[in-house]
Structure 1
Amino acid sequence: MQITIELPEDIGNQLQQNWQNLPQKILEAIALEAYRSGIMTTAQIQELLKFSSRWETEQFLKQYHAYLDYTEEDLEQDIQTINQVLSK
């Protein structure tokens, strides 16, 4: 899908001067907001931004303080799952 946005000329020029690759920066902003909102997964972020690895994706998210929403309950459930797998 291709999406076109219109910016006032002066704002577009200002953004372009500060962000060399404006289309990429816009994609990154969309990816970050979608991840923070729970709309996209890390795998989808990796695909959208054409990152070569999960680690590159994680580094990108960390750089912009978009951390995984991982609760204490999630940790407890993961520990239980690991213990069940290891006990087999």
Structure 2
Amino acid sequence: MQITIEIPDDFAQRLDQTAGNLSQRLLELMVADAYSQGKINTAEVRQILQLPTRLSVHSFLKQMNIYLNYDETELKQDIQTLNQVREK
């Protein structure tokens, strides 16, 4: 989907000078907001922003001052995975 946003030229120029690619920056802000609201997960963040690794997603979220959504269910899954690796 493509969305067009009208922004005053002088404001857009200032944003583009400080934020690099304005389109990419707006996408990053939207993705970060969606993640912080629980609407998307880290895999979707990685896919949307085309980040190379899970750790790059964690780094991106840290730069955006957003904590990882890590709940008890994920902890249990990680413990189960760790136990399976240890058994091998």
TM-score range (shorter-chain normalised) is 0.7 to 0.9
Q: TM-score normalised to the size of structure 2?
A: 0.77
Counterpart secondary structure, 1:10: helix
Could you tell me which runs of 5 or more consecutive residues in structure 2 were left unpaired when the two chains were aligned.
none
1:6 CA drift (Å)? 0.9
Moved segments of 4+, more than 2 Å = none
Q: Show the counterpart of 1:37.
A: 37
| Partner of residue 46, structure 2 | 46
User: Could you say which residue in structure 2 is the equivalent of 1:78?
Assistant: 76
CA distance in 2, matches of 1:17, 1:65: 22
Cα distance in 2 for partners of 1:66, 1:51 equals 17
| Separation (CA, whole Å) in 2 of partners of 1:70 and 1:55 | 14
Q: Distance in 2 between matches of 1:31 and 1:6?
A: 20
Runs of 5+ unmatched residues, structure 1: none
Aligned 8 A contact 2:58 2:68 in 1: no
Is 1:58 the counterpart of 2:58? The answer is: yes
| Percentage of pairs with the same residue | 36
Q: Which residue of the partner structure matches residue 13 of structure 1?
A: 13
How much does 1:22 deviate?
Answer: 0.8
